[in-house]
Amino acid sequence: MSVSSREEQKRLDTLAVNNFVEYLRIPSVHPNVDYGDCIKFLQKQAKELDLPIQVINVRPKKPIVILTWVGKKPELPSILLNSHMDVVPVYEENWKHKPFAADIENGNIFARGTQDMKSVGLQYLEAIRRLKLNGITFMRTIHISFVPDEEIGGLEGMKLFVDTKEFEKLRVGVSLDEGIASNTDEFALFYGERCIWHVHIHCPGQSGHGSLLMENTPGEKVTHILKRFYEFRKTQQKLLKDNPTWTIGDVTTVNCTMMSGGVQSNVVPPEMIIVIDCRIPVTVDIQKWEETIHNWCAEAGSDIYITYSQKQPQVPVTKLDDSNPYWIAFKAATDELGLKLKPQIFPGGTDSRYLREIGIPAIGFSPINNTPVLLHDNDEFLGVDTFLKGIEIYCTIISKLANMEDLTG
């Protein structure tokens, strides 16, 4: 990307960092997020960029904010640049810097959201600022969306939004969304996600005094089931160790995250409940996996039953081959920039799954490399130079995608 002078480049860089810091200082943190200040910030950005903005509430206090840069051929499928406004909670006592102060020290910006993912949302906007200043126009319309509640599953955000008439009017052809930082010179690129199951296993049984040796107690059932899960867990650890090219997204992870039951230390409760966080890769037959869980429960004893607080379906991956012209354009951009990509399955969950579920290709990519992976961690940070380099990367990627030829034939 060209700029008119070195002074102009410096001005744009300073503006970009200042905007990023201002965005980071908005504590859009769970629980009970107030998105009002995010909306005001984005309205100011839209005015500066001379872009129309709309705020759509799919649920009260759950705004979808969309800025739009109309292309020369708006009838073509559009490009969606998606990010989420919310961030996860912090344990402030474990941070060296105030998590919403956005302090800059030794060339790094410390704040919750620097990696996940306020950086990407701002890089979209700052890339568009530079493209517009250079007088560049595109055939395809570009929508920049800022959505709520991704960090708690997006159930009242993107999941609902994709089923609305407002989303249909966007005519989205491809979506970009967040990735994860890389601690090497490679850039992580995600084309699919494991599905998330939160499995609540209810183990009723004989209750009574804690001094007795009764049969069919809830604790015995819990013990057997956990033994089965953790034996399976070891097989997945071994698979990951034996296959150096695999990532965590290629195996099934299971972890006991909650246990409940009982009111007093000398009373055997009538029921105990364990919660298993399970992330299932796209290569696994989820019907057979569910049968396996039920078989383990049947082995443990009678009357055990399962409920789910989250049970996502398997969603087809985005194809990274010649059948996907959007991938060809994206890859052409990263090749031009000399970026090393590492395609993989996302280990957690993002809003991309809701796009892929309705047939829209989605690519997860954060232009962050040579950086410790600190999403959801204490002292989350991003280098100023890395942030600014990401803007340049998006200038090229956006240009390639938004100027794709008509593919309808």
- The model's pLDDT over 70-95, given as tens digits with 9 standing for 90+, comes to 999 999 999 999 999 999 999 999 99
Question: Smallest Cα–Cα separation from 317: which of 341, 343, 342?
Answer: 343
For the purposes of burial, counting CB atoms within 10 Å of the CB of 65, is it exposed (0-12), middle (13-18) or buried (19 or more)?
buried
Active-site residue, selected from the candidate residues 149, 150, 193, 380: 150
- What is the 8-class DSSP label of residue 313? P
Distance between CA atoms of 37 and 23, rounded to whole angstroms?
9
- What is the 8-class DSSP label of residue 92? G
86 labelled catalytic: yes
> Above pLDDT 90, what percent of the chain?
96
Q: What is the pLDDT of residue 246?
A: 94
Per-residue pLDDT tens for 97-109? 999 999 999 999 9
Q: What is the pLDDT of residue 103?
A: 98
Active-site residue, selected from the candidate residues 86, 149, 177, 178: 86
Q: What is the pLDDT of residue 4?
A: 61
Per-residue pLDDT tens for 9-31? 999 999 999 999 999 999 999 99
What is the pLDDT confidence band of residue 290, given thresholds at 50, 70 and 90?
very high
pLDDT at 172 over 50: yes
Tokens 């296993």 found at: 201
Distance between CA atoms of 101 and 388, rounded to whole angstroms?
20
Q: What is the pLDDT of residue 348?
A: 83
Give the residue-averaged pLDDT of 263-281.
Answer: 97
Phi, psi of 61 (to 5 degrees): 65, 20
pLDDT at 405 over 90: no
* C-alpha distances out from residue 402 to 115, 116, 285, 347, 409, Å: 25, 25, 37, 29, 18
SS3 category, 202 = strand
**Taking all residues of the chain, what is their mean pLDDT, rounded to a whole number?**
96
H or E segment and range at residue 320: none
Give the chain's domains with CATH numbers: 6-178+366-402 (3.40.630.10), 195-311 (3.30.70.360)
Distance between CA atoms of 135 and 169, rounded to whole angstroms?
27
pLDDT at 401 over 50: yes
What is the pLDDT confidence band of residue 1, given thresholds at 50, 70 and 90?
very low
SS3 category, 144 = strand
Per-residue pLDDT tens for 179-230? 999 999 999 999 999 999 999 999 999 999 999 999 999 999 999 999 999 9
Per-residue pLDDT tens for 123-159? 999 999 999 999 999 999 999 999 999 999 999 999 9
Tokens 């410096």 found at: 10
Neighbour count for residue 27 (Cβ, 10 Å) = 15
Question: Smallest Cα–Cα separation from 79: which of 165, 146, 159, 176?
Answer: 176
**DSSP β-ladder status, 341-346 and 142-147:** unpaired
150 labelled catalytic: yes
Give the residue-averaged pLDDT of 328-348.
Answer: 96
Give the residue-averaged pLDDT of 294-320.
Answer: 96
Cα-Cα-Cα-Cα dihedral of 327, 73, 131, 186, to 10°? 0
Who's near 167: CB < 8 A, 6+ residues apart?
Answer: 161
Q: What pTM did the predictor assign?
A: 0.91
Contact by Cβ (8 Å): 197, 310? yes
For the purposes of burial, counting CB atoms within 10 Å of the CB of 243, is it exposed (0-12), middle (13-18) or buried (19 or more)?
exposed
pLDDT at 406 over 90: no
pLDDT at 409 over 60: no
Q: What is the pLDDT of residue 2?
A: 52
Contact by Cβ (8 Å): 83, 124? yes
